[in-house]
Structure 1
């Protein structure tokens, strides 16, 4: 994987490796093919290996930079989403409070129309007086027989 043809995001381009001059041809043609076949054909000089390692390190650093930028962007997005959620919760809370206030106003209106303590006491006194007057009238007019008879304890009413 060579990175010589790709540009970098930071604008810095890696220097392409300088070509090495070709080694002189071997003097003994009969021995050279066997010696060349023993050495791997993909072996690179140490200088080219260092250049390739430098390009790999440069690419790794660019990837790390991109990762850091992506992480910062995601952090900002997370903060914005959290702020939006807080605003939505606050507006929902405000609408809940408004609905609660309306409900409390309706409840207060209904309870204001109920009779007060004075009216309830007056009704109780009038009821007690009328009950006493009616009981006295029943006894004076000898209307006791209209009242149901009490059953005595231990006997059954027939």
Structure 2
């Protein structure tokens, strides 16, 4: 892309020369500034201060546009980061909810199994009925002389 500040394609100065005026004398370069490439330097024309200021203004304009793009990119990335953080939070909440649902199901199953177990009243009633029946059956065996059905007392025989 050719810039207007670079001069015409022909390598002449910024102001075109007319046939009426003689070409301006080129200033002789000082020995300290003379570059090693001779033909390339001869084709370059001296640059005016206005051209340098224009070029500097263009560079500053491009730099400010790059800074604006960087600021927009940074804002976009911060919004993306916020959205990712929010999505991560929602996923953690969902995972916790599924864990709670599984735990709730386990507790419900355990509660169902414990509900089917007999309560304290039923256990006491069973113990009383068992004790009464044991006494009644023992008395019936003794009255009917069914002592022969009972096993012999091995301990009493071993002691005599």
Would you say same fold, with TM above 0.5? yes
Pick closer, same or farther for the CA change 1:147–1:53 going to 2, 3 Å. farther
Which residue of 1 is the match for residue 59 of structure 2?
Answer: 56
Q: 1: CA distance between counterparts of 2:134 and 2:63? A: 101
User: 2 CA distance for matches of 1:104 and 1:84?
Assistant: 30
- Corresponding residue for residue 93 of structure 2: 90
Q: Which runs of 5+ in 2 are unaligned?
A: 8-13, 18-22, 35-40, 142-146
**Structure 1 residues 11-69: Cα deviation after superposition (integer angstroms, max 9, x where no partner):** xxxx843843376136xxxxx7xx33634457743223222221221121111011011
The residue number in structure 2 matching 1:11 is none
Normalising by structure 1, we get a TM-score of: 0.58
Describe the superposition over 1:96-138 as per-residue Cα deviations: whole angstroms up to 9, x where unpaired: 232222212211110011110012223444556678889999x
Distance 1:16 1:69, change over 3 A: farther
**Counterpart for residue 37 of structure 2:** none
Residue equivalent to 2:24: 24
SS in 1 for 2:5: coil
Query: Hey, what's the Cα distance between the residues in 2 that align with 1:81 and 1:146?
Result: 83
CA–CA distance in 2 between the matches of 1:56 and 1:89?
Answer: 49
Give 5+ residue unaligned stretches, structure 1.
7-14, 27-31, 150-158
Q: Pick the structure with more helix per residue.
A: 2
How far apart, CA to CA, are the structure 1 residues paired with 2:60 and 2:155? Answer: 110
Q: Which has the higher contact order (CA 8 A, sep 6+)?
A: 1
TM-score, with structure 2 as normaliser: 0.57
| Structure 2 counterparts to residues 6-155 of structure 1, below 5 A | 16-17=4-5, 19=7, 20-21=14-15, 24-25=24-25, 35-36=28-29, 38=31, 39-40=33-34, 41=41, 44-126=47-129, 146=153
Superposed structure 1 runs of 4+ greater than 4 Å apart? 39-43, 126-137
